[in-house]
């Protein structure tokens, strides 16, 4: 027949389910995209540390394919290798075939969480960690309890008895708590632009960012206003769902994503200063298929450094510091934002920026990976601290609360004279009339 494609219709790729069920299994075409070339292996933190094929991106995709074809089940071994993945997406940046590894992982983890019964202790720990870290009120309570725990001498006792060494997850939480001391004040709901307005932005205040690093949110509001934006901090927002999505709790992530979409409204830009939240919100169209409001919001998400790099507030005063930059995985790999934070640092007079070796290698934080996989997270942190120490910097800069918490804990434990701060804090310090740098204790 004239005009007919002699090759016939495009072949339909059969979608086997195997060990998965039909509720959004890992995308079969995405799995098939893997060429097994191995280019991603040197970029994968867990492969670098463990040197096991099944702890590499290629090995994990292979396992997903074997499960889809029914050659392996969702066994303890399968779950172990998926649990060990940081979800850092460094493999996506490296992959020439465009394998959507982050989505494959989240889909696989959602299947695991629905269909695999973990030991009771692991279930309770996961539920507690998600329930606390994704809820500002509960997180604030945990921080209050942490202060009591430290000041009452209970921490010394728990460490002296060796109890924490026998319970590594609680030990990891114990180590993170001392890094958390911040004065929390409510953010203004509506801050007018200084001078002519460029438009309105809605800020995701976040849960971990808001409770652990409120000074970052305050600097964000001030800088955006001085850059010419009206800044709204809408009520009714909470967790964006990042932790739930990352951990395979898709229903939990969907509920939080819908609430975030409803709360943040129709501002020109939805701004976040937490890399993990930004990566998740940019993927809302995938998380909530068919939801047009979610898709519109996803297209308007910007990391705060992107807007500030375009319209730098000033005048900026010299900041005579040596700094280095650690790239959060969910900013550089998850959102492909690499230049903007560096542009901000470069625009601060007097600042000396020293390049960090392996700047885009995960520090081991990865959401709550440092609590679920403390041993591996510790090895990655030690490697990162070695690199930071080698720069001679006074400040390591990073735009994600999880990275800041992880780095501050590690730096304090090792006794390194280096502080960890968000890039917006440095920009704020360099502006007239905003000088909490002394309070920040930068050496």
Chain contacts with ligand SF4 (rule: CB under 6 A): 34-40, 43-46, 57-58, 60-61, 85-91, 94-95, 97, 99, 101
Give me the least distance between CB of 56 and ligand SF4, in Å please.
6
Please report where in the chains the tokens 């905003």 appear, as a residue: 434
Q: Give 108 or 237: the residue with its C-beta nearer to ligand SF4.
A: 108
Give me the least distance between CB of 94 and ligand SF4, in Å please.
6
Q: Give 87 or 276: the residue with its C-beta nearer to ligand SF4.
A: 87
Q: Give 360 or 425: the residue with its C-beta nearer to ligand SF4.
A: 360
Whether omega before 227 lies within 30 degrees of 0, making that bond cis, reads no
Q: Give 63 or 404: the residue with its C-beta nearer to ligand SF4.
A: 63
Residue 272 has which token pair? Answer: 């976040």
Residue 136 has which token pair? Answer: 């500002």
Q: Give 88 or 267: the residue with its C-beta nearer to ligand SF4.
A: 88
Give me the least distance between CB of 104 and ligand SF4, in Å please.
9
Residue 222 has which token pair? Answer: 């001030």
Give the pairing of strands 322-325 and 229-232: unpaired
Give me the least distance between CB of 26 and ligand SF4, in Å please.
13
Give me the least distance between CB of 77 and ligand SF4, in Å please.
16
Q: Give 85 or 207: the residue with its C-beta nearer to ligand SF4.
A: 85
Q: Is the separation of the CB atoms in 22 and 74 below 8 Å?
A: no
> Residue 39 in 3-state DSSP?
coil
For residues 115-137, b (16+ Cβ closer than 10 Å) or e, as one string? eeeeeeeeeebbeebbebbbbbe
Residue 278 has which token pair? Answer: 């930004």
User: Quick one: DSSP state of residue 401?
Assistant: H
Q: What secondary structure, in 3-state letters, does 80-140 show?
A: HHHHHCCCCCHHHHHCCCCCCHHHHHHHHHHHHHHHCCCCHHHHHHHHHHHHHHCCHHHHH
Q: Give 57 or 146: the residue with its C-beta nearer to ligand SF4.
A: 57
Q: For the range 179-185, what are the long-range contacts, defined as Cβ-Cβ under 8 Å and sequence gap of 24 or more? A: 179/405, 179/408, 179/409, 179/412, 180/143, 180/146, 180/212, 180/405, 181/147, 182/211, 182/212, 182/213, 182/214, 182/215, 183/214, 183/215, 184/140, 184/210, 184/211, 184/214, 185/214, 185/218
Q: Give 20 or 369: the residue with its C-beta nearer to ligand SF4.
A: 369
Give me the least distance between CB of 306 and ligand SF4, in Å please.
23
Give me the least distance between CB of 244 and ligand SF4, in Å please.
18
Q: Give 57 or 341: the residue with its C-beta nearer to ligand SF4.
A: 57
Give me the least distance between CB of 83 and ligand SF4, in Å please.
11
Q: Is 162 left (phi over 0), alpha (psi -120 to 50) or beta?
A: left
Give me the least distance between CB of 48 and ligand SF4, in Å please.
9
Distance between CA atoms of residues 58 and 40, nearest Å: 7
């Amino acid at each position: 027949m004239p005009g007919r494609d002699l090759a016939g219709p495009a072949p339909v790729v059969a979608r086997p389910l195997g060990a998965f069920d039909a509720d959004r299994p890992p995308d079969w075409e995405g799995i098939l995209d893997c060429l097994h070339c191995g280019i991603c292996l040197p970029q994968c933190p867990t492969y670098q540390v463990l040197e096991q094929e099944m702890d590499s991106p290629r090995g994990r995709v292979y396992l997903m394919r074997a499960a889809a074809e029914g050659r392996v089940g969702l066994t303890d071994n399968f779950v172990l290798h998926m649990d060990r993945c940081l979800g850092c997406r460094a493999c996506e940046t490296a992959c020439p075939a465009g394998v959507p590894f982050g989505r494959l992982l989240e889909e696989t983890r959602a299947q695991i969480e629905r269909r695999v019964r973990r030991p009771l202790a692991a279930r309770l720990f996961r539920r507690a960690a998600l329930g606390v870290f994704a809820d500002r009120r509960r997180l604030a309570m945990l921080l209050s309890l942490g202060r009591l725990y430290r000041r009452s001498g209970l921490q010394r006792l728990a460490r002296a008895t060796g109890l924490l060494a026998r319970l590594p997850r609680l030990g990891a939480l114990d180590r993170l708590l001392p890094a958390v001391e911040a004065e929390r004040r409510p953010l203004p709901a509506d801050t007018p632009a200084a001078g002519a307005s460029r438009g309105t932005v809605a800020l995701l205040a976040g849960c971990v960012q808001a409770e652990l690093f409120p000074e970052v949110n305050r600097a964000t509001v001030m800088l955006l206003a001085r850059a010419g934006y009206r800044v709204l901090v809408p009520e009714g927002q909470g967790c964006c769902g990042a932790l739930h999505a990352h951990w395979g709790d898709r229903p939990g992530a969907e509920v939080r994503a819908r609430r975030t979409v409803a709360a943040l409204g129709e501002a020109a830009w939805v701004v976040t200063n937490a890399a993990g939240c930004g990566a998740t919100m940019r993927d809302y169209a995938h998380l909530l298929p068919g939801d047009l409001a979610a898709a519109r919001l996803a297209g308007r998400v910007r990391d705060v450094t992107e807007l500030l790099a375009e319209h730098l507030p000033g005048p900026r005063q010299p900041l005579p510091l040596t700094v280095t930059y650690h790239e959060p995985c969910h900013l550089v790999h998850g959102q492909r934002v690499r230049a903007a934070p560096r542009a901000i640092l470069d625009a601060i007079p007097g600042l000396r920026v020293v390049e960090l070796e392996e700047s885009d290698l995960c520090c081991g934080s990865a959401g709550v990976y440092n609590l679920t996989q403390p041993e591996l997270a510790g090895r990655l942190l030690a490697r990162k601290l070695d690199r930071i120490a080698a720069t001679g910097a006074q400040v390591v800069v990073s735009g994600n609360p999880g990275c800041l918490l992880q780095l501050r804990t590690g730096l304090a434990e090792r006794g390194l004279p280096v502080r960890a701060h968000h890039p917006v804090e440095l920009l704020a310090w360099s502006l007239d009339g905003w000088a909490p740098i002394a309070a920040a204790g930068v050496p």
